[in-house]
Amino acid sequence: MTNLIRAELQKLFTTRLWWAMALVMLALTSLGLVFLITTAGAPAPNGQPALPALDDPAWLPLALSNANGNIFTMILGIVLMTGEYRYQTITGTFLTTPKRGRVIAAKLGAGVIIGAFFAVVSLLFTAVVAVTAVLIGGGAVDLTANRIPQLAVGVLATMILYALFGIGLGALVRNQVAALIGGIVWAFVIESVLSSFPALQTVGKWLPGGAAQALMSIDFDTGLGESNLLPAWGGALVLIGYALLFAVVANLTTTRRDIT
């Protein structure tokens, strides 16, 4: 199985997609950080500060939650699976490993490593920029306070689980474009609506996006009312449940399909 997981990692790192994805992720993270830094402490129209100031201990956790690039690990997960069908490399993959369940398992294993790798890159980048900003802004940095460790672990777990989510989705849908569009629309539009508004969170908290928020315990007051999310461990369980469900369904379908 170690060999198969290594082969799956080679598949990703021998094409150019991974670093393009890493660059886009860091670019978007930078945009978010620029926004958070420039609007830190700026008063909202009604006179209340909309966002904590740079020297406010609440700012750093906010900046760190911006490191979450789950959309990118989801895309990588989708491509890791659907790319095999798009370029018909699935034929060679199943010839090398005819026990197809092992291929899906290896991809999930590789997804954990890829998700963790991207999370660490994003977290390190964000931490360096955000800590620098706080120090320049005259604040004190305590990386053990304000739920920062929990946030970091939350980002790591979320990005890993979204990679697995993408693999499961890709195995199920197989058509790369359809899986990508479906995944992105789901994550950006449907989920963000269902998990942002507390009134809809009764549904949203059971979806991957709501579960991810619960995992990181992001319950900043957005002015829309009190959040209705699962506890952090509940969020983790929901995400793992989705990944497993997709993997099992994918396994049941791909193992039975003819490759013609």
Partner 1 sequence: MTAIEIRNLSKSFGAVRAVDDVSFTVEAGTVTGYLGPNGAGKTTTLRSLLGLVTPDSGEALVNGRRYAGLDHPLNEVGAVLEATSFHPGRTARDHLRIMTTAAGLPASRPDEALEQVGLADAARKRVGGFSLGMRQRLALAGALLGQPKIFILDEPANGLDPAGIQWLRGFLRHLAHDTGAAVLVSSHVLAEVEQTVDNVVIIAKGRLVRQGSLAELTGNGGGAVRVKTKDDFAPALRAAGAEVEEVEPGVLKVRGLDAEEIGRLALDQRVLLTEVAHERSDLQSVFLELTGEGAGA
Positions in the binding site for partner 1 (CB under 8 A) = 3-4, 6-7, 10-11, 14-17, 83, 87-89, 91-99, 256, 258-260
Distances (CA, A) of 46 to 40, 43, 49: 16, 8, 9
Q: Radius of gyration of the chain from Cα atoms? A: 20
CA dihedral (57, 66, 186, 24) in degrees, to 10, reads: 180
**What is the rounded distance in angstroms from the CA atom of residue 66 to the CA atom of residue 25?**
11
Give min distance, CB of 113 to partner 1, in A.
Answer: 14
Q: Which residue, 45 or 98, has its beta carbon nearer to partner 1?
A: 98
Q: Which residue, 99 or 149, has its beta carbon nearer to partner 1?
A: 99
- Can you list the alpha helix ranges (DSSP code H) found in the chain? 2-13, 17-38, 59-65, 70-86, 89-96, 100-136, 148-173, 176-185, 191-196, 201-204, 208-216, 232-254
- At 252, list the tokens: 């049941």
Neighbouring-strand partners of residue 43? 49
In three-state secondary structure terms, 43 is: strand
Residue type, 20: A
DSSP state of 44: P
Q: Which residue, 15 or 132, has its beta carbon nearer to partner 1?
A: 15
Q: Which residue, 2 or 38, has its beta carbon nearer to partner 1?
A: 2
Q: Which residue, 106 or 119, has its beta carbon nearer to partner 1?
A: 106
Q: Which residue, 5 or 229, has its beta carbon nearer to partner 1?
A: 5
Give min distance, CB of 42 to partner 1, in A.
Answer: 45
Query: Cβ–Cβ contacts within 10 Å for residue 43, how many?
Result: 10
41 touches 49 (CB < 8 A): yes
Q: Which residue, 224 or 259, has its beta carbon nearer to partner 1?
A: 259
Give min distance, CB of 108 to partner 1, in A.
Answer: 15
Give min distance, CB of 184 to partner 1, in A.
Answer: 22
Give min distance, CB of 23 to partner 1, in A.
Answer: 16
Give min distance, CB of 14 to partner 1, in A.
Answer: 4
Query: Cβ–Cβ contacts within 10 Å for residue 141, how many?
Result: 14
Give min distance, CB of 257 to partner 1, in A.
Answer: 9
